[in-house]
Amino acid sequence: MEKYLECAAVSGTHGVAGMIKLKSFADSPEALAAVKTLYTKEKDGTLKEWKVERAFVHKGAVVVKLEGLDDMNRAIAMKGTVFFADRDSFTLGEGDFFVADVIGLPVVDEESGERIGTLADLITDRVQHLYVVKKDDGSEFMIPGVGEFIKKQITEGDGAGVYVRLIEGMGE
């Protein structure tokens, strides 16, 4: 499991003092606003640490003032930059998980134990999550992220996988 997870991307600036707006990849903008240290990936793959001086949610975006980012021109140049956070910066509730931990897991029929495919993506910007499953023949289909279809997710160990119950025609 990755220690540092993609958590946001710069969508624009806020004001003239170098504040940036972040599009949150977290479950809620409030969860991202509580993070005290963010990281960007340098060209050589190392992480650069950014201390968060203050953060708040404004119109669905997270507005952040980073230590050392004090002018509008530098803030504008950061548009599109992806930020990472240490997974330990977030508190998971019962049944919560990191998307990065389930992508690539086998998708398994709960009743038969038959492998259906691999979880290729998890679309989270909807009212309900959509699980994108890639079958061995390369085709894809989606499963609504509700308890009727997604029975359990095991992210570690021998039984790791997304266990599902499909209705007739769903995976075709």
Last residue in a domain, options 89, 115, 134: 89
Q: What is the DSSP string of 37-104?
A: EEEEE-TTSPEEEEEEEEEEEETTEEEEEETT--SHHHHHHTTT-EEEEEGGGS---TT---HHHHTT
Q: Each residue's pLDDT tens digit in the chain (172 positions)?
A: 789 999 999 999 998 788 999 998 887 899 999 999 999 999 999 999 999 999 999 998 999 999 999 999 999 999 999 999 999 998 888 777 888 889 999 999 999 999 999 999 998 766 788 999 999 999 999 999 999 999 999 888 899 999 999 998 887 7
Residues 11 and 67 grouped into a single domain: yes
CATH at 41: 2.40.30.60
Helices then strands, counting H and E runs in the chain, come out as 3, 12
147 falls within a domain = yes
Q: For residue 154, what are the domain limits?
A: 99-164
Query: What does the pLDDT read at residue 126?
Result: 67
- Tell me the pTM: 0.76
